[in-house]
């Protein structure tokens, strides 16, 4: 197949629309079901690059959950403990494959942002992963292949109209990439930077010791940032992104946004949240929304108007600011990556509140000394990579 006509572009009024190979060659994909759209393919191709690099960097299956051309979550296939399985709504499964664990993590870290996602998988989609995908609200999936059982399961989603794309895992694009804006063609070399140990070898802080797990997580953060709309910051812990701040004009706003998401990820593990008395009839999305409201400051307003009766069997106690801070103070060993330098130490102050202990960033700010001093104050280890990772 040399080209594929699409229903429309980013918006319904943007017609005609298609994807094709500029050199006239064959597209490296097959659409196995559904009718993927313009934004679906943008998510699919960016997501595929991300998971392929995560697999190469870690040796483990990887998954990502994409929304509007940025990842809502990204992870590798490490086993889930009982608490994570519960907050990701997969505790009813007796056994998950490594690939299924990767998707459960990628989807579960920020479930609200992942609602209606496009999924990318590094490995052939198996039955366990397909079963997870089947029950989530999702637009589609891209993978290098699917087992017959997985295809049958995915074929039952959206009455057979769920978007399933198979990509040629051996495909490698031309080293030059082009796009048009306002009729003008832009050309640049592809971002082929390899995220490896050598890139993370220049630690500029007093603390320079980094565990193998932390080094792995720093790689995950930087690879995730390669495919996140800039400015962007990514918090990672335990082999998965737990907070991604994308597309903000101010770096500290990226750090705050990603930090808030990381905080919510950890607060969801608090027994007070784990034991919320949900009504049986509510949907998974309604539970996610209810948890977000419960954790948020606006929960007291919900108590006042009685809306809790729609989702809970009894009125939960409020989650006070003091209780939340006490729980968050237990979050430690978080890694953080930034796609460009930190211009002020306020980013470090905010990162510290979310348990960050390891940082990777390009360096190069006139205030690098101030940023390093802030890291030293909190005993953080920070590496300067010397490489910016803007993605637009």
Q: What is the pTM of this model?
A: 0.95
Q: What class does CATH assign to 3-167? A: alpha beta
pLDDT truncated to tens, each residue of the chain (392 aa)?
Answer: 889 999 999 999 999 999 999 888 999 999 999 999 999 999 999 999 999 999 999 999 999 999 999 999 999 999 999 999 999 999 999 889 999 999 999 999 999 999 999 999 999 999 999 999 999 999 999 999 999 999 999 999 999 999 999 999 999 999 999 999 999 999 999 999 999 999 999 999 999 999 999 999 999 999 999 999 999 999 999 999 999 999 999 999 999 999 999 999 999 999 999 999 999 888 888 899 889 988 986 655 655 566 677 888 888 888 999 999 999 999 999 999 999 999 999 999 999 999 999 999 999 999 999 999 999 999 999 999 999 999 99
Which one, of 300, 258, 301, 292, lies nearest residue 273 by Cα? 292
Q: In what side-by-side order are the strands of the sheet with 381-384?
A: 29-33, 163-167, 138-143, 117-121, 62-67, 70-76, 240-246, 232-237, 334-338, 356-361, 381-384
Tell me if residue 78 falls in helix, strand or coil: coil
pLDDT at 152: 97
pLDDT at 60: 98
Active-site residue, selected from the candidate residues 40, 163, 231, 347: 231
Place of tokens 């335990």: 238
Considering the four listed CATH numbers 3.40.50.300, 3.40.50.720, 3.40.140.20, 3.10.20.30, the one that applies to the domain covering 176-267+328-384 is 3.40.140.20
Choosing from 11, 13, 159, 392, the catalytic residue is 392
Nearest to 335 by CA among 242, 252, 235, 226: 235
**Residue 78, CA distances (Å) to 119, 196, 227 in order:** 18, 20, 22
Alpha-carbon distance of 359 to 338, in angstroms, equals 8
Chain-centre distance for alpha carbon 123: 17
CA distance 359 to 383: 6
Q: What is the pLDDT of residue 297?
A: 65
Beta strand pairing status for 3-6 and 29-33? unpaired
pLDDT computed for residue 296 by the predictor: 84
- Tokens 């895992």 correspond to 169
- 275 catalytic per annotation: no
Q: Using CA atoms, how far apart are residues 261 and 236, in angstroms rounded to an integer?
A: 11
Annotated catalytic, 67? Answer: yes
pLDDT value, residue 362: 96
> From the candidates 67, 219, 352, 391, which is the catalytic residue?
67
């Amino acid at each position: 197949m040399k080209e594929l006509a699409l229903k429309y572009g980013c918006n319904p009024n943007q017609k005609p629309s298609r994807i094709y190979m500029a050199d006239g060659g064959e597209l490296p994909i097959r659409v196995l079901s559904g009718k993927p759209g313009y934004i679906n393919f943008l998510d699919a191709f960016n997501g595929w690059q991300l998971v392929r690099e995560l697999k190469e960097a870690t040796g483990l299956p990887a998954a990502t959950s994409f929304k509007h051309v940025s990842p809502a979550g990204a992870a590798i296939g490490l086993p889930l403990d009982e608490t994570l399985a519960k907050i990701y709504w997969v505790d009813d499964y007796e056994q998950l494959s490594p690939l299924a664990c990767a998707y459960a993590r990628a989807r579960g870290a920020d479930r609200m942002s992942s609602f209606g996602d496009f999924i990318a998988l590094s490995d052939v989609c198996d039955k366990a992963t397909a079963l997870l995908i089947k029950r989530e609200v999702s637009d589609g999936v891209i993978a290098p292949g699917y087992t017959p059982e997985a295809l049958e399961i995915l074929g039952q989603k959206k009455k057979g109209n769920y978007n399933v794309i198979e990509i040629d895992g051996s495909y490698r694009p031309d080293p030059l990439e082009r796009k048009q804006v306002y009729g003008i063609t832009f050309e640049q070399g592809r971002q082929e930077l390899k995220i490896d140990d050598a890139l993370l070898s220049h630690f500029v802080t007093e603390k320079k010791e980094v565990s193998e797990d932390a080094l792995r997580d720093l790689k995950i953060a930087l690879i995730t940032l390669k495919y996140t709309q800039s400015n962007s910051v990514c918090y990672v812990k335990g082999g998965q992104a737990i907070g991604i701040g994308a597309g903000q004009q101010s770096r500290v706003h990226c750090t705050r946004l990603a930090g808030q998401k990381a905080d919510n990820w950890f607060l969801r593990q608090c027994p007070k949240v784990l034991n919320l008395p949900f009504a049986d009839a509510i949907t998974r999305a309604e539970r996610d929304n209810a948890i977000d409201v419960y954790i948020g400051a606006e929960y007291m307003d919900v108590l006042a108007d009685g809306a809790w009766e729609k989702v809970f069997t009894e009125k939960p106690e409020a989650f006070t600011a003091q209780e939340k801070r006490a729980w968050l103070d237990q979050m430690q060993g978080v890694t953080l990556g930034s796609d460009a330098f930190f211009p002020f130490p306020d980013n470090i102050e905010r990162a510290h509140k979310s348990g960050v202990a390891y940082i990777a960033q390009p360096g190069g700010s006139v205030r690098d000394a101030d940023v390093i001093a802030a890291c030293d104050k909190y005993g953080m280890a920070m590496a300067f990579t010397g490489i910016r990772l803007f993605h637009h």
